[in-house]
């Protein structure tokens, strides 16, 4: 952010708030309410009751005030205050002098060289359950994406766009820019492992039932081809995903039509380093190549097209369709998103494929990503800010109930007590 803009903003805060916000609160004499002051200037304010800390995102800056000390941290730099914040009637207050001290540090700090020369765009809504994670001089902004998009989703919420502009390195789940590696990995996953055939894992009757289910999707005998060698999990998920997208009203999905690609294009625009938390081969294998007994179960339970449509209709009736998921994402209704995951905990008790998805596709990978984030924070020697984009369920899945975990929960469970984790949504 330009220095002139910070100072102009500060002047506006004082001119406007001294006449409005200040008079609206029964504040200690000579003090301003922290939340109202910064929110009036389009800041995002949150309070950590356990650590008694106020976190503030203001334009491209991050400010921390401590309730039990006369110090602040502005963009990682300790700043001595004269009085510190005061807690009064469950609200935090700050003196004019201390506010000026903190804002003067914001104004003095030069913006990173890769910051977009234009202003951080405003008007976006999607927060993606954004979290800020600090360890020493290193910072991770953890952002939840949806692997699809709707018209009007971009730009993202101001605090997300500002975090992107403060970041030095961008991280994603896996390298979806390596199209050749993706094609190769998916090509292997499309076939049964270890030269197995359907006859090796199913009875003749089960093979016939499976093939008959495929015929309901318009697959003719001529198109069955090497069906004996094709992986039923890959086939089942392919048909399900295609049909689900076809039924969705206005959602696009593809390698370049998703929230991840929007973030990626920003990083590429400024030639910023990219890193990936998970090898392509691992992600594709986990998705499409579960243990053989699970693959056999998927083949035995392959629905017909009518049965699949009925399932989607039931999901739509109770508000759990792909359109509902997209709406929950764009309106930041994270509780609805977690409600959509909750039924899987019940189904996992009855279906070994759902149990596998819960344990490996979801919980294992969230734990794996959390370990990767900890490595970035602990092992990066130079002060670095990372912007990490993962599927949003990896950030808030534990909300769905016991049996699920997510990245944030795993970070909190780590033995690193000096981690500072702040929700910014």
Quote the domain boundaries for residue 86. Answer: 3-108
Q: For the chain, what is the domain count?
A: 2
pLDDT number for residue 245: 76
| Confidence bin at 317 (pLDDT 50/70/90) | confident
Q: Are residues 157 and 269 in the same domain?
A: yes
Q: Are residues 138 and 76 in the same domain?
A: no
Q: Which of 32-46, 84-98, 301-315, 355-369 has the highest mean pLDDT?
A: 355-369
Q: Are residues 27 and 87 in the same domain?
A: yes
Residue 418 lies in a domain: yes
Sheet with 31-33, side-by-side order of all strands: 31-33, 91-95, 86-88
Tokens of 11: 């002047």
Quick one: average pLDDT of 205-211? 96
Quick one: average pLDDT of 54-82? 83
Q: Are residues 154 and 44 in the same domain?
A: no
Q: Is the pLDDT of residue 114 over 60?
A: no
Q: Computed from CA positions of residues 74, 80, 82, 87, in that sequence, does the dihedral angle turn out positive or negative? A: positive
Q: Are residues 76 and 168 in the same domain?
A: no
The enclosing domain of 73 has a CATH number of 3.30.457.10
| Confidence bin at 29 (pLDDT 50/70/90) | low
Residue 222 lies in a domain: yes
Residue 113 lies in a domain: no
Q: Are residues 99 and 151 in the same domain?
A: no
Exposed (0-12), middle (13-18) or buried (19+): which is 117, by Cβ within 10 Å?
exposed
For β-strands 44-48 and 385-391, DSSP reports them as unpaired
Torsion of CA 392, 398, 404, 410, to 10 degrees: 90
In terms of Cα–Cα distance, which of 225, 221, 227, 222 is closest to 191? 227
For β-strands 53-58 and 91-95, DSSP reports them as unpaired
Phi and psi at 143, nearest 5°, equal -125, 135
Q: Are residues 29 and 153 in the same domain?
A: no
Helix (H, G, I), strand (E, B) or coil at 331: coil
pLDDT 10s digits, 342-364 = 877 777 788 999 999 999 999 99
Residue 115 lies in a domain: no
Instruction: Give 54's strand partners.
Output: 47, 65
Q: Are residues 81 and 12 in the same domain?
A: yes
Residue 327 lies in a domain: yes
Least confident piece of the model among 102-116, 150-164, 330-344:
102-116
Q: Are residues 276 and 414 in the same domain?
A: yes
């Amino acid at each position: 952010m330009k220095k002139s803009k910070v100072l102009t903003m500060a002047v506006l805060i004082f001119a406007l708030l001294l006449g409005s916000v200040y008079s609206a609160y029964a504040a200690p004499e000579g003090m301003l309410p922290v939340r109202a002051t910064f929110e009036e200037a389009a800041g995002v304010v949150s309070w950590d009751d356990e650590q008694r800390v106020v976190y503030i995102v203001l334009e491209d800056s991050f400010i921390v005030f401590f309730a039990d000390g006369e110090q602040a941290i502005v963009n990682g730099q300790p700043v001595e205050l004269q009085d510190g914040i005061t807690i009064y009637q469950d609200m935090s207050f700050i003196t004019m002098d201390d506010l000026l001290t903190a804002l003067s540090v914001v104004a003095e700090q030069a913006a990173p060289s890769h910051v977009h020369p234009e202003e951080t765009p405003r008007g976006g809504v999607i927060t993606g359950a954004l979290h800020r994670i600090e360890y020493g001089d290193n910072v991770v902004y953890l952002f939840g994406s949806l692997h699809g998009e709707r018209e009007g989703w971009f730009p993202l919420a101001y605090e997300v766009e500002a975090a992107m502009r403060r970041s030095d390195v961008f991280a994603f789940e896996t390298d979806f820019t390596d199209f050749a590696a993706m094609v190769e990995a998916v090509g292997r996953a499309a076939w049964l492992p270890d030269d197995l055939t359907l006859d090796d894992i199913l009875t003749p009757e089960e093979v016939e039932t499976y093939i008959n289910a495929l015929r309901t999707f318009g697959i003719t005998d001529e198109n069955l081809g090497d069906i004996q060698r094709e992986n039923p999990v890959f086939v089942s998920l392919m048909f399900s995903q295609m049909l689900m997208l076809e039924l969705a009203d206005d959602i696009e999905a593809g390698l370049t039509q998703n929230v991840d690609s929007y973030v990626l294009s920003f990083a590429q625009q400024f030639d910023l380093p990219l890193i990936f938390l998970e090898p392509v081969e691992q992600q594709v294998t986990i998705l499409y190549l579960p243990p053989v007994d699970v693959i056999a179960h998927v083949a035995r339970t392959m629905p017909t097209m009518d049965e699949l449509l009925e399932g989607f209709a039931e999901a739509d009736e109770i508000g759990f369709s792909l359109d509902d998921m997209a709406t929950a994402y764009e309106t930041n209704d994270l509780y609805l998103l977690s409600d959509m995951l909750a039924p899987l905990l019940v189904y996992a008790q009855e279906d070994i494929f759902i149990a596998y998805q819960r344990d490996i596709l979801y919980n294992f990978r969230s734990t794996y990503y959390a370990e990767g984030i900890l490595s970035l924070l602990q092992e990066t020697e130079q002060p670095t800010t990372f912007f990490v984009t993962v599927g949003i369920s990896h950030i808030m899945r534990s909300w769905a109930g016991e049996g699920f975990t997510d990245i944030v929960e795993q970070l909190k469970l780590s033995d690193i007590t000096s981690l500072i984790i702040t929700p910014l949504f």
